[in-house]
């Protein structure tokens, strides 16, 4: 009986530190377009946002997926109607799990992308990795538009 109780308590402690997609806004409508920024939000979620002039909405969704893959996240959901792409990174021997939401807002001349990552102290590193993948994809896409092969 004591062993079962210890196992249950251990599982509760281990899972209580885990992130989930439920900690992130469910749709792009819940995220307000603001100035480009980077940093910790009050809720302990790390955020990065940037405007991408001349980028099309469809390309932004592909870039969001590429950013998640670049940072070894699993793409969980792409919801174009609700302007969001979700990804997760599972618990490993070195990291707790992480949840990422990428919100895409169409502007008159481009798109605004906001990334929110929930997780432990490494959330800043993973947010920057994801956004680096987004920027790489966007740079290659815009270069291809300027100089088609």
* pLDDT tens over the chain, length 149 residues: 666 545 544 444 444 445 567 789 999 999 988 888 999 887 789 999 999 999 999 999 999 999 999 999 999 999 999 999 999 987 665 566 899 999 999 999 999 999 999 988 789 999 999 999 999 999 999 888 788 77
Query: 69 with 87: CB under 8 angstroms?
Result: no
Could you tell me the end-to-end alpha-carbon distance of the chain, in angstroms, rounded to an integer?
Answer: 68
Tokens of 20: 């989930």
* Three-class secondary structure of residue 74 per DSSP: strand
Alpha-carbon distances of 37 from 53, 92, 129, 137, rounded to whole Å: 16, 30, 16, 20
pLDDT at 88: 94
The Cα 39–Cα 32 span in angstroms is: 16
The Cα 104–Cα 39 span in angstroms is: 18
């Amino acid at each position: 009986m004591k062993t079962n109780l210890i196992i249950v308590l251990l599982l509760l402690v281990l899972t209580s530190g885990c992130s989930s997609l439920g900690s992130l806004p469910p749709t792009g409508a819940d995220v307000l377009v603001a100035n480009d920024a980077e940093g910790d939000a009050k809720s302990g979620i790390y955020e990065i946002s940037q405007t991408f002039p001349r980028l099309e909405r469809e390309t932004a969704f592909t870039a969001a997926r590429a950013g998640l893959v670049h940072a070894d996240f699993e793409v969980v959901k792409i919801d174009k109607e609700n302007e969001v792409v979700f990804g997760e990174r599972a618990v490993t021997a070195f990291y707790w799990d992480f949840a990422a939401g990428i919100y895409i807002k169409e502007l008159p001349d481009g798109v605004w992308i906001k990334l929110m990552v929930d997780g432990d102290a490494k959330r800043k590193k993973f947010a920057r990795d994801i956004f680096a993948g987004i920027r790489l994809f966007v740079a290659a896409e815009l270069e291809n538009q300027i100089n088609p092969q």
